[in-house]
A = this chain, B = another copy of it.
Amino acid sequence: MSARLYVCTTCRAGETVEDGRPVPGARLYAALAEATLPEGVDLVPVECLSACSNGCAVALSQTGSWSYIYGRLGESDASDILAGAGAYAATRDGIVPWRERVAIFRKQSLARIPPLES
């Protein structure tokens, strides 16, 4: 099974957004959806990742691996998020060696959860 890159599409990230305009989470999702996804990564929109005070947020999970959540992200991080997701998908356990992690994943982790299978 592929890794899943979840993106909170309802996140306002503290911004005041005019009616009818896309919120920051929707704009981040759109930026990711327009890009070429790394091998083994599925992009999945989610209505809320409950990380509202640290949005925009994305999460990564795959069978048998640690899951990770990252926050304080925006559209300009799309290419780094995809690079990080590709590195994650290439692991067996979800743990990308520290030095190989993209900077936003080193610095903006909100939490991680062990795999259920371990």
Contacts and interface: CB of A to CB of B under 8 A. Distances in A.
A31 interface: no
Interface stretch (A32-40, A45-53, A74-82): A45-53
Interface in A51-93: 51, 54, 57, 59, 61-63, 67-69, 71
Q: How many chain copies does the complex carry?
A: 2
A34 to B, nearest CB: 22
A30 interface: no
A50 B109 contact: yes
Contacts of A6: 113-114
Contact of A69 (B44, B61, B63, B69): B69
Given A6-B113, A50-B112, A54-B111, 5 more contacts: A6-B114, A48-B112, A59-B111, A59-B113, A69-B111
